[in-house]
Amino acid sequence: MSAGKLPWTSWRHVVKLDPDRAIANHQLEELGRIATDAVLIGGTQGITFEKTADLMRRLRIFAPSLPVWQEISDQSAVMPDADGYGIPVALNAGNTDWLIGKHVEAVEQFGRIIPWERVVTEGYIILNPDAAVAKLTQSAVPQSSEKAVAYATAAEQIFGIRVIYLEYSGKYGDPDWVRAVRQNTNVHLVYGGGIDSAEKAVEMADIADTIVVGNALYEKGMDVVRETVRAVHSLRK
Ligand code: 1GP
């Protein structure tokens, strides 16, 4: 964000919806009733304009009160009517396209029409070497929590990034690593990966500012979302 309060700051529980995966209208309706704080539309593979537009349109119809943000991974699928945009910067990408290359291309092409006041930079640290995003970005996955902290500190202090996303996508992460980053930075800390129960949600939400639930919704259904939202909101922070 260019100025003011980051919308992220009040979000404790976010659901990530992948346009490449099927979700029924009644599930979106249910999602609207469960008090998750926001929906983030994003994914790594198979993202097209058509699939993203369909999901966006149905969210507006069936869950009209939910804030819908889009995490942009492909500039051909940008939704003009999203409430805001997360721009991932893959801090540990081996392929610099995902660190700055694609961002420069997008600015060259769309710079004058990008609503910067609705854009948040997400400094991703990819921590699961088996995740699709690790392969796509050819990530150098940190081998120690000290290295993960160094990435986060460099992002915060050198690059001025205010949101760090610890991405374990598909795998439950190590709370000690998340805690180490928490204790050594003042960023808004987002955790995502493998949250499929109230216990895991509480454990990570107790450390991070925002937790993201993705895969479990598709694998286990809406009960997981309900259970994790309730668990997170029972914590004081
Ligand atoms: C993925 O961090 C999110 O980008 C959530 O991870 O799909 O493992 O829940 P899961």
Q: Look at ligand 1, atom 9, and give the residue with the nearest C-alpha.
A: 214
Taking alpha carbons only, the member of 3, 23, 29, 31 closest to residue 223 is 31
Taking the centre of ligand 1 as the mean of its atom positions, its distance from the CA of residue 57, in whole angstroms, is 23
Q: Are strands 119-126 and 84-90 parallel, antiparallel or unpaired?
A: parallel
Taking alpha carbons only, the member of 55, 28, 29, 31 closest to residue 41 is 55
Instruction: Decide: 167 and 138 in contact? Cβ < 8 Å.
Output: no
Instruction: Please tell me the predicted confidence (pLDDT) of residue 5.
Output: 64
CB of 134 closer than 6 angstroms to any ligand 1 atom: no
Distance CA 138, CA 132 (A): 10
* Domain assignments of the chain as residue spans, ordered by start: 3-233
Instruction: Please tell me the predicted confidence (pLDDT) of residue 75.
Output: 83
Instruction: Decide: 151 and 91 in contact? Cβ < 8 Å.
Output: yes
Helix (H) or strand (E) segment spanning residue 217: helix 215-220
Q: In degrees rounded to 5, what are phi and psi of residue 120?
A: -120, 130
CB of 188 closer than 6 angstroms to any ligand 1 atom: no
Instruction: Please tell me the predicted confidence (pLDDT) of residue 237.
Output: 67
Binding residues: 16, 18, 44, 165-170, 194, 214-215
Could you list the pLDDT tens digit for every one of the 237 residues in the chain? 444 566 778 999 999 999 999 999 999 999 999 989 999 999 888 889 999 999 999 999 999 999 999 999 888 888 999 999 999 999 999 999 999 999 999 999 888 888 999 999 999 999 999 999 999 999 999 999 999 999 999 999 999 999 999 999 999 999 999 999 999 999 999 999 999 999 999 999 999 999 999 999 999 999 999 999 999 999 966
CB neighbour class for 219 (10 Å; exposed up to 12, middle 13-18, buried from 19)? exposed
Instruction: Decide: 231 and 204 in contact? Cβ < 8 Å.
Output: no
Distance CA 92, CA 3 (A): 26
Q: In degrees rounded to 5, what are phi and psi of residue 144?
A: -150, 160
Record the pTM: 0.95
Instruction: Please state the three-class secondary structure of 42-62 as a single string.
Output: CCCCCCCHHHHHHHHHHHHHH
CATH topology of domain 3-233: TIM Barrel (3.20.20)
Measured from the Cα of 196, ligand 1's closest atom is 9
